[in-house]
Structure 1
């Protein structure tokens, strides 16, 4: 569903893993005069000419602004679609690809080592969470954020780390009911996601590590770049692909999905 240099998990009915989180979960030191960005603290080397080495917390919009490249163009060069997933340590093309499709094998080879290692580590951590018992709100304090339920209603689908179609929770609600920001943050994406059956999408960046995503909206209200407070209305509840009124809700940490119930309070 989403292809490119930074290839996340391909989801059906969820958001591709990553951070615009991937989004989208957004904070950097400056680059050198030639645009090289070695990540010394993570052990990565400098990016080759025409590429940028993604750092933790980076978002596509911020990189585009720093490099003075239109975000849509940067996304096209890297074959990225909403919510523009990025992975720390991967390479992002910041110069026009000279060979189009011919250039893809070269890009895959350049990032395969760090990407494969990172995905193995990420898979292990998400499986460990899936095996453990879910204690509502148990991870909220460690996140440093004050989380709240985005909508009132019954959870009709739970999170499952190993199921690509269940990378968030789905909450039954009345069509048109207000969709609320789960925590303070800045709207990183607002509009039609372009993902089949996903509907209008809102992504909120809460910190360099955390973002939340709200899908199946009938109408979006909050605008990109808008600062929002916990409990502020972002959108209106819409319907899933099968016509059921509900909200699809995800929380991502460092670009990877986590069980929202670990962060949301036990009582609403």
Structure 2
């Protein structure tokens, strides 16, 4: 049932998404949430919210749903028509701290102000899931670019970027190969695709840096990891959580 839920999320999105030209010539998925949605076989509330980039708690509140696991085929859900699977920020809101001043600095002070902990993201303790070179960067909405891809080596270990609970493990998600998805606090999910082996199970709690699998091959036969972060259902730039340079 869990596999069907995730399959419905990605397969339905692939079938019904509108594709519009992007300035760089790539295809961009711009599926918007309808005002209402009728639940079909294989849907879960989580999969519907993931598909349209909506916050599950908000949808539950708007529809008077107390238990997210209890929706039924034919049920009409009010989605509001405002969601977007690609309407995500390049970096999470949490990395911006304080107000930005537009006034010119006083000439009296020539030294640059010392950086404080307030300017550091609260997710700075996330680690890189794999040591390697980024071969594809994040570009919200572009096919295959809702995360980053890191080149790897055969049998190289893939680690959890942050502690959480395994929400999915399997190969039922088109375009991800064998993938592990971990649920974290604050509405965050991290996905680790193209794995050759996995060492965790669904429902298992994992710790930051814990070994969850090994690097496998992408569809174009290259050893790499697809790493994706979603916040409240929307893809966000993973570098906003793990940093732009390797650390573990």
Unaligned runs of 5+ in 2: 1-9, 20-30, 93-116
1:225 counterpart (185, 195, 203) = 203
The answer as to 2:214 corresponding to 1:236 is: yes
| 141 and 9 in structure 1: CA distance in 2 versus 1, 3 angstrom threshold | farther
Take 1:225 and 1:140, find their aligned partners in 2: how far apart are those partners?
A: 34
Take 1:168 and 1:8, find their aligned partners in 2: how far apart are those partners?
A: 19
Name the structure 1 match of 2:84: 119
Q: Is the 8 A contact 1:212 1:251 kept in 2?
A: yes
Take 1:76 and 1:162, find their aligned partners in 2: how far apart are those partners?
A: 24
Q: Is the 8 A contact 2:123 2:241 kept in 1?
A: no
Normalising by structure 2, what TM-score? 0.61
| 9 and 239 in structure 1: CA distance in 2 versus 1, 3 angstrom threshold | farther
Q: How many residues align?
A: 187
Normalising by structure 1, what TM-score? 0.57
The answer as to 2:47 corresponding to 1:76 is: no
Name the structure 1 match of 2:190: 212
Unaligned runs of 5+ in 1: 11-16, 18-46, 52-73, 98-102, 131-137
> What are the Cα deviations for residues 99-136 of structure 1, in whole angstroms up to 9, with x where unaligned?
xxxx8xxx4xx535x1x22339x72x53x759xxxxxx
Where do 1:245-260 residues align within 5 Å? 245-260=223-238
| 140 and 225 in structure 1: CA distance in 2 versus 1, 3 angstrom threshold | farther
The answer as to 2:133 corresponding to 1:157 is: no
The answer as to 2:72 corresponding to 1:95 is: yes
Take 2:225 and 2:172, find their aligned partners in 1: how far apart are those partners?
A: 14
1:166 counterpart (134, 145, 156) = 145
| 141 and 119 in structure 1: CA distance in 2 versus 1, 3 angstrom threshold | same
2:164 counterpart (155, 162, 185) = 185
| 165 and 181 in structure 1: CA distance in 2 versus 1, 3 angstrom threshold | same
Q: Is the 8 A contact 2:45 2:71 kept in 1?
A: no
| 83 and 213 in structure 1: CA distance in 2 versus 1, 3 angstrom threshold | farther
Q: CA RMSD in A?
A: 4.2
Whichever of the two has the greater Rg, that structure is: 2
Cα shift at 1:213: 0.3
Take 2:217 and 2:119, find their aligned partners in 1: how far apart are those partners?
A: 28
Cα shift at 1:240: 0.2
> What are the Cα deviations for residues 172-215 of structure 1, in whole angstroms up to 9, with x where unaligned?
001221110001111111111341x4210100111132110000
Cα shift at 1:8: 8.5
Larger displacement relative to structure 2 (221-230 or 76-85): 76-85
Take 2:242 and 2:234, find their aligned partners in 1: how far apart are those partners?
A: 17
